[in-house]
Amino acid sequence: MTKPNKRDEIVRSALELIAEHGFHGAPMAMVAERAGVAAGTIYRYFENKDVLIKELYQELENKMYPFIMDGYAAEAPFRVRFFHLWTALMRYFIQYPLDFRYLEQFRNSPYGVASRRDKILGNDAGRCDVFRELLEQGAAQQVVKDLPLILLFSISFGPLLAVTRDHILGFVQLDDTMIERTIEACWDAVKR
């Protein structure tokens, strides 16, 4: 079997603790303990806590991408592609609730705001640009509302993220019908 490399253990431990308790509920000593490693060891793999946090974010983005693209038909009609991507994203989050919680923590923090600002100003390579491409195309074809791209993002992801959060925090138990209805709501919200 593959040796559970220490770096990976540290990352896993950080993911769990931060997802559940936030950045400030995950002291390095605790991350180390849960990873089965000494405190100082973390610093052999990551320059400091900030770097650990940012690298973990990148890893999650990279992990998400293939999951979402699986079975994506680039030539299908707009609506079909929209439903594919949004459904895949929601199912990803439901399958990996720690990832969802971590990403939310990250987005609601100075890290996330800075990273988003970079992306908007185009200073960033941009991983998940499938979403952007699709919405840009929808705007060009006038199938979505006449609004700046960034608002199309917020409007179409808003319901998805809020509902997913409800599920992951245990406020509802989503079933397949509810998931579908939620994606329909996202669609109804953006479509012209």
Partner DNA sequence: TATAAAAGAATGAACGTTCATTCTTTTACT
Partner DNA sequence: AGTAAAAGAATGAACGTTCATTCTTTTATA
The residue within the footprint of a copy of itself, chosen from 102, 113, 141, 143 (CB under 8 A), is 113
Q: Does position 182 bind a copy of itself by CB under 8 A?
A: yes
Q: Does position 138 bind a copy of itself by CB under 8 A?
A: no
151: Cβ contacts below 8 Å, ≥ 6 apart: none
Q: Does position 161 bind a copy of itself by CB under 8 A?
A: yes
**Residue 142: phi, psi to the nearest 5?**
60, 30
3-state secondary structure of 55: helix
Taking the C-alpha atoms of residue 38 and residue 50, their distance in angstroms, rounded to an integer, is: 18
Q: Which residues are at the interface with DNA (CB under 7 A)?
A: 6, 24, 26-29, 36-45, 48-50
Q: Decide whether 71 or 148 has the Cβ nearer to a copy of itself.
A: 148
Taking the C-alpha atoms of residue 135 and residue 172, their distance in angstroms, rounded to an integer, is: 29
Q: Does position 27 bind a copy of itself by CB under 8 A?
A: no
Given its phi and psi angles, is residue 53 left (phi above 0), alpha (psi -120 to 50 degrees) or beta?
A: alpha
Q: Decide whether 130 or 149 has the Cβ nearer to a copy of itself.
A: 149
CA-closest candidate to residue 182, choices 160, 152, 158: 160
Residues that bind a copy of itself (CB under 8 A): 22, 24, 104-105, 108-110, 113, 116-117, 120, 145-148, 150-151, 153-155, 157-163, 165-166, 169, 171-172, 178, 181-182, 184-186, 188-191
